[in-house]
A = this chain, B = another copy of it.
Protein backbone atom coordinates (compact mmCIF):
# COMPACT_ATOMS: atom_id res chain seq x y z
CA UNK A 1 0.00 0.00 0.00
CA UNK A 2 1.26 3.51 -0.82
CA UNK A 3 1.28 5.99 2.04
CA UNK A 4 1.34 9.77 1.73
CA UNK A 5 3.41 11.02 4.64
CA UNK A 6 4.66 14.64 4.78
CA UNK A 7 7.50 13.59 7.10
CA UNK A 8 8.90 11.17 4.53
CA UNK A 9 11.51 13.15 2.59
CA UNK A 10 10.99 11.65 -0.85
CA UNK A 11 10.18 12.84 -4.37
CA UNK A 12 6.55 12.58 -5.49
CA UNK A 13 5.80 12.61 -9.21
CA UNK A 14 2.22 13.37 -10.26
CA UNK A 15 1.87 12.86 -14.01
CA UNK A 16 -1.52 13.74 -15.54
CA UNK A 17 -2.17 12.11 -18.94
CA UNK A 18 -5.07 13.45 -21.00
CA UNK A 19 -6.38 10.79 -23.37
CA UNK A 20 -9.24 10.02 -25.76
CA UNK A 21 -11.61 7.79 -23.73
CA UNK A 22 -11.41 5.12 -26.43
CA UNK A 23 -7.62 4.98 -25.99
CA UNK A 24 -7.79 4.93 -22.18
CA UNK A 25 -7.39 1.15 -21.83
CA UNK A 26 -4.51 0.97 -24.30
CA UNK A 27 -2.64 3.78 -22.50
CA UNK A 28 -3.32 2.17 -19.13
CA UNK A 29 -1.86 -1.15 -20.35
CA UNK A 30 1.22 0.63 -21.70
CA UNK A 31 1.84 2.51 -18.43
CA UNK A 32 1.28 -0.68 -16.41
CA UNK A 33 3.78 -2.64 -18.54
CA UNK A 34 6.33 0.20 -18.42
CA UNK A 35 6.02 0.28 -14.63
CA UNK A 36 6.33 -3.48 -14.15
CA UNK A 37 9.07 -4.16 -16.68
CA UNK A 38 11.30 -1.09 -16.63
CA UNK A 39 10.50 1.78 -14.27
CA UNK A 40 10.14 -0.27 -11.07
CA UNK A 41 13.57 -1.82 -11.68
CA UNK A 42 15.39 1.53 -11.55
CA UNK A 43 17.25 2.63 -8.40
CA UNK A 44 15.15 4.66 -5.97
CA UNK A 45 11.74 3.51 -7.20
CA UNK A 46 9.20 3.27 -4.37
CA UNK A 47 5.72 3.05 -5.90
CA UNK A 48 3.42 3.92 -8.81
CA UNK A 49 -0.36 4.34 -8.65
CA UNK A 50 -2.31 4.66 -11.89
CA UNK A 51 -5.64 6.45 -11.37
CA UNK A 52 -8.31 6.09 -14.08
CA UNK A 53 -10.77 8.98 -14.10
CA UNK A 54 -14.53 8.43 -13.91
CA UNK A 55 -14.94 9.99 -17.38
CA UNK A 56 -11.99 7.97 -18.83
CA UNK A 57 -10.42 11.19 -20.17
CA UNK A 58 -7.51 11.21 -17.71
CA UNK A 59 -5.01 8.76 -16.29
CA UNK A 60 -2.93 10.15 -13.43
CA UNK A 61 0.15 8.44 -12.12
CA UNK A 62 0.96 9.14 -8.46
CA UNK A 63 4.52 7.85 -8.12
CA UNK A 64 7.14 7.98 -5.40
CA UNK A 65 10.95 8.05 -5.75
CA UNK A 66 13.63 8.07 -3.07
CA UNK A 67 14.95 11.36 -4.48
CA UNK A 68 14.54 13.80 -7.37
CA UNK A 69 17.94 12.63 -8.63
CA UNK A 70 16.72 9.01 -8.83
CA UNK A 71 13.68 10.17 -10.83
CA UNK A 72 15.88 12.20 -13.20
CA UNK A 73 18.19 9.21 -13.71
CA UNK A 74 15.22 6.97 -14.55
CA UNK A 75 13.87 9.27 -17.29
CA UNK A 76 17.25 9.09 -19.02
CA UNK A 77 17.18 5.28 -19.16
CA UNK A 78 16.77 4.16 -22.83
CA UNK A 79 14.09 1.49 -22.13
CA UNK A 80 12.07 3.95 -20.02
CA UNK A 81 12.43 6.56 -22.78
CA UNK A 82 10.95 4.19 -25.39
CA UNK A 83 7.87 3.66 -23.19
CA UNK A 84 7.56 7.40 -22.60
CA UNK A 85 7.70 8.20 -26.31
CA UNK A 86 4.95 5.60 -26.92
CA UNK A 87 2.82 7.00 -24.07
CA UNK A 88 3.33 10.56 -25.36
CA UNK A 89 2.14 9.47 -28.83
CA UNK A 90 -0.97 7.79 -27.38
CA UNK A 91 -1.93 10.62 -25.00
CA UNK A 92 -3.29 14.01 -26.08
CA UNK A 93 -1.19 15.65 -23.39
CA UNK A 94 0.84 14.75 -20.31
CA UNK A 95 2.13 16.90 -17.47
CA UNK A 96 4.75 15.38 -15.18
CA UNK A 97 5.42 17.51 -12.09
CA UNK A 98 7.67 16.70 -9.13
CA UNK A 99 6.86 17.64 -5.54
CA UNK A 100 9.07 17.71 -2.46
CA UNK A 101 6.70 19.27 0.07
CA UNK A 102 3.36 17.91 1.30
CA UNK A 103 0.82 19.14 3.81
CA UNK A 104 -1.74 16.54 4.95
CA UNK A 105 -5.06 16.74 6.75
CA UNK A 106 -7.34 13.93 7.94
CA UNK A 107 -10.56 13.48 9.85
| Residues of chain A at the chain B interface (Cβ within 8 Å) | 1-6, 12, 14, 16, 28, 32, 35-36, 40, 45-55, 57-58, 60, 62, 68, 95, 97-107
Contacts and interface: CB of A to CB of B under 8 A. Distances in A.
Contacts of A40: 105, 107
Nearest to A103: B50
A46 B99 contact: no
Contact of A2 (B45, B68, B104): B104
A14 B98 CA distance: 15
Contacts of A6: 49
B105 A51 contact: no
Contacts of A98: 53-54
